[in-house]
């Protein structure tokens, strides 16, 4: 397994929910962390007193140039990038018949285009690492369609899974390994309106533990897709 010592990981959407839990787990593991969020002030306050291996930067998934600026500031601060966790995401619910372009455009930007922009900007540094890791927090909705009111969300998460496979293939010879992490419903604010009992949901701590494992796997043990179920679903 790879040691976290000296390795630097970027985590998008790190200000709350799943992203915050992933950051806490990776900090406990010993990684250097470059955390991205829209509200940098709140992020800095949350990590006050634990800033030895942590830097907070503004990342706005809806703004062109935000990804490259964050990557450049990360390299200036740490000198390297060894991992990228594309965690930031957004959900808008609609069916085919009531789909709205503005809601779909928002999900395309946050769930698909922003991860591509971050991956593109970080790719040269991940190649130099020799054991670069990309974990794209997709969803089971990126592997199958179960809810018709998730049609737009599924479209964008399927695209994120496709990006994962492209990054895995393009970066393979340089030691880059990419995984589409595909949990079912996680107990976060995004799931609050779905009406599911919390005890049935996946905890953020569980997903963060999976991210920890994926980052530590050696180059000769690559996982392309990792579904996490809460129901029995054939094939997943």
Q: What is the pLDDT of residues 92-125, one digit of tens each?
A: 999 999 999 999 999 999 999 999 999 999 999 9
Rounded to two decimals, the pTM is 0.96
150-193 pLDDT tens trace: 999 999 999 999 999 999 999 999 999 999 999 999 998 877 77
Please give the average per-residue pLDDT across 129-152, as a whole number: 96
pLDDT band at 147 (very low <50, low <70, confident <90, very high): confident
pLDDT at 1 exceeding the cut of 90:
yes
Asked which of 86-90, 116-120, 133-137, 143-147 is least confident by mean pLDDT, the reply is: 143-147
From the candidates 47, 70, 78, 153, give the one annotated as an active-site residue: 153
List pLDDT tens digits, range 42-82. 999 999 877 789 999 999 999 989 999 999 999 999 999 99
Per-residue model confidence (pLDDT) at position 231: 86
Q: Could you write out the DSSP letters of every residue in the chain?
A: ----TT-EEEETTTTSHHHHHHHHHHHHHT-EEEEEES-HHHHHHHTTT--SSEEEEE--TTSTTHHHHHHHHHHHHHS---EEEE-------B-STT--HHHHHHHIIIIIIHHHHHHHHHHHHHHHHSS-EEEEE--GGGT----TTBHHHHHHHHHHHHHHHHHHHHHGGGT-EEEEEEES-BSSGGGGGG---GGGSBPHHHHHHHHHHHHHS-TTS--SEEEE-SS--TT-
Taking the C-alpha atoms of residue 185 and residue 66, their distance in angstroms, rounded to an integer, is 29
Homologous superfamily (CATH) for 8-228: NAD(P)-binding Rossmann-like Domain (3.40.50.720)
* 153 assigned to active site: yes
Q: Which two tokens stand for residue 174?
A: 């340089």
Q: Where in the chain are the domains?
A: 8-228
Could you tell me the pLDDT band of residue 195, with boundaries at 50, 70 and 90?
Answer: confident
């Amino acid at each position: 397994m790879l040691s976290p010592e000296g390795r630097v990981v970027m985590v998008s959407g790190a200000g709350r929910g799943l992203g915050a839990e992933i950051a806490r787990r990776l900090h406990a593991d010993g990684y250097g962390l470059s955390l991205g969020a829209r509200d940098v002030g709140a992020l800095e306050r949350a990590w006050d007193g634990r800033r030895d291996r942590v830097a907070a930067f503004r990342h706005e998934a809806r703004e062109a140039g935000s990804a490259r600026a964050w990557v450049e500031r990360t390299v200036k601060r740490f000198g390297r990038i060894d991992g990228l966790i594309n965690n930031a995401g957004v959900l808008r619910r609609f069916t085919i018949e009531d789909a709205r372009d503005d809601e779909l455009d928002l999900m395309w930007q946050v769930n698909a285009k922003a991860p591509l922009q971050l991956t593109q900007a970080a790719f040269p540094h991940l190649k130099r690492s020799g054991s670069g890791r990309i974990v794209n927090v997709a969803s089971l909705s990126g592997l199958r369609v179960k809810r018709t009111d998730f049609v737009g969300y599924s479209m964008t998460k399927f695209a994120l899974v496709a990006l994962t496979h492209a990054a895995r293939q393009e970066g393979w010879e340089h030691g880059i390994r990419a995984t589409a992490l595909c949990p079912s419903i996680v107990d976060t604010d995004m799931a609050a309106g779905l009406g599911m009992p919390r005890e049935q949901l996946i905890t953020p701590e569980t997903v963060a533990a999976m991210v920890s494992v994926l980052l530590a796997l050696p180059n000769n043990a690559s996982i392309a897709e990792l579904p996490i179920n809460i129901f029995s679903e054939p094939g997943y």
